[in-house]
Amino acid sequence: MPKIIQTTFDVIPEAGVIVRSAYLQNDIKATALVSAAKRVVRKMSIESERRAQSLFQEAKAEGYAAGMLVAAEALTHYLVINAEHTTRLRKQLSEEIIGALKQCMNDSRVLISVFEEAFRDRELAEISELNIVLPESLRLSHSGLVENLQRHLKIDIAIEYSKESRFIFRFGDHIAEFVPDEFNSKLMAKAMREIPLMHAKHHAIADECRQQLAALFDGHFSDTGNSEQYDDELLNKD
């Protein structure tokens, strides 16, 4: 004959105040399970929030980095263009300075100044005859040259022209020479030294921009690290 097993029991308090220990233990276990479930839910919530924050920071960083790369490329392009422009300006300025100086060399007054400089320590009375070799470019002003020289000197003057750019003065056993190209080069170098060193300034600007970009990136990733540290503190609670 089958045996009947009773699975439900009525709770009967003894003396109206006593509850069996089995029921108290079950209640404690239920409370512990609820607390554990709350901790799991809290942990899952924080994990989900941190994951969402991490994904957001990654997306933000990717977009931020892409924007910074575009800005850096634009800056690099700007600096390259300005460096090339500066090089062209320096070359153009150099050519214009040389052209202006060469044009000055064709002025008869310059020839007189060179002559006076060459013979300032000598008595002009000692000079009876003067032979001059000039660049071919001065041939067109031959009459004016002779007139200006004879205005200063009452001597015979013979002028020859050469394809070279030198001025040569011969009187007796003495020779004085003036090389316009060397003079022009010295003046041009002096003029170029007076120009601000634009290339150095471009490098300084580029370095400063790189430092600022690096600081922006460092600050961005530092903020991300602080957020993760805050989430870890929340997880360690309870």
What pLDDT is stored for residue 96 in this prediction? 75
Query: Could you tell me the pTM of the whole model?
Result: 0.39
Tell me the one-letter amino acid at 230: Y
Domain boundaries, given as residue ranges, for the chain: 22-101+198-235, 107-194
What pLDDT is stored for residue 235 in this prediction? 47
Structure tokens at 75: 């800056």
What pLDDT is stored for residue 15 in this prediction? 47
pLDDT digit string (tens) for 103-146?
776 666 777 777 677 666 565 556 677 788 888 877 877 777 77
The Cβ of residue 134 has, within 10 Å, a number of other Cβ atoms equal to: 23
What pLDDT is stored for residue 195 in this prediction? 66
Q: In sequence order, which residues have a C-beta less than 8 Å from that of residue 187 and are 6 or more positions away?
A: 97, 101
Structure tokens at 79: 């600096």
What pLDDT is stored for residue 202 in this prediction? 65
Tell me the one-letter amino acid at 177: E
Q: What is the CA radius of gyration of the chain?
A: 49
pLDDT digit string (tens) for 60-86?
767 766 766 776 677 677 767 766 777
* Of 145, 115, 141, nearest in space to 127 by CA: 115
CB 216, CB 93: distance < 8 Å: no
Q: Round the average pLDDT of the chain to a whole number and report it.
A: 68
Instruction: Say which residue the tokens 């700007």 belong to.
Output: 78
Instruction: Say which residue the tokens 């460092």 belong to.
Output: 218
| Regions of the chain short of the pLDDT cut 70 | 1-30, 32-34, 59, 61, 64-65, 67-68, 71-72, 75, 79, 82-83, 101-102, 105-108, 115, 118-127, 191, 194-203, 206, 209-210, 213-214, 216-238
CB contact burial 170-200 (16+ within 10 A = b; e otherwise): bbeeeebebebeeebeeebeeeeeeeeeeee
Whole-angstrom distance, CA of residue 91 vs CA of residue 20: 105
Whole-angstrom distance, CA of residue 127 vs CA of residue 171: 6
Q: Between β-strands 167-171 and 174-178, what pairing exists: parallel, antiparallel or unpaired? A: antiparallel
Whole-angstrom distance, CA of residue 20 vs CA of residue 13: 8
